[in-house]
Amino acid sequence: MKKSWIIIGIVVLVVIVIYSSLKGTYNGLVTGEETVNKSWADVQGAYQRRADLIPNLVSTVKGYANFEQQTLIKVIEQRANATKPTINIDPAKLNENTLAQFQKAQDELGSSLSRLMVVVEKYPDLKANQNFLQLQAQLEGTENRINVERRNFNDAVQQYDTKLRKFPTNIIAGMFGFEKKPYFQAQAGADTAPKVNF
């Protein structure tokens, strides 16, 4: 009789240890995934802030740059593409393809904005305009925020993916359907230094 109580006690203890281990690992994965989701929302918020500045920037430039309509139209089109509902990705559906699609749209918008800033160089009155200077400063600040949020997102993904791959967490992750998250990658050609001619 005493021996059966010892066996029951050991079985109960083993069950409690296994349950605690599973619970801790699962909850850790959930916390990691939610951190990635929050970081992704911050990234999208930073990009949305940039998109929200563009109409004001275009309106300010439009008054000065009457002959640069193609550039302005391109910026407006790229903004529309970058803010489509299909581009704003649910973090649960975040994968290599959806992130690449999002990044491509944002990179195209950034490229259009760069071209717009080159056009602005032709108009000294515009460069001195207070509205334009404020918008330009806000846009520069937003670009910095985007970089910070992308780095924070990649940090959160790195921590989550590392946890996901470790043993025995990888077994539990597989049982409950947790999957790796993709990183933001450098823009194509970013590894090549630009040529500067004087």
Domains of the chain with CATH codes: 2-176 (1.20.1440.20)
Task: Give the model's pLDDT for residue 89.
Answer: 78
Task: Give the model's pLDDT for residue 195.
Answer: 45
What three-state secondary structure class fits 46?
A: helix
Which of 4-13, 50-59, 150-159 has maximum average pLDDT?
Answer: 150-159
Whole-angstrom distance, CA of residue 24 vs CA of residue 22: 6
Task: Give the model's pLDDT for residue 186.
Answer: 67
Task: Give the model's pLDDT for residue 65.
Answer: 61
Band the pLDDT of 187: cuts 50, 70, 90: low
Task: Give the model's pLDDT for residue 151.
Answer: 95
| pLDDT tens digit sequence for 104-138 | 888 888 888 888 887 777 777 776 778 888 888 88
Residue 134 amino acid letter: Q
Whole-angstrom distance, CA of residue 41 vs CA of residue 63: 35
Whole-angstrom distance, CA of residue 105 vs CA of residue 92: 20
Q: What pTM was computed for the model?
A: 0.76
What mean pLDDT is reported for the chain?
A: 83
| pLDDT tens digit sequence for 4-54 | 888 999 999 999 999 998 999 999 999 999 999 999 999 999 998 988 888
Looking at per-residue confidence, does 117 or 158 come out higher? 158
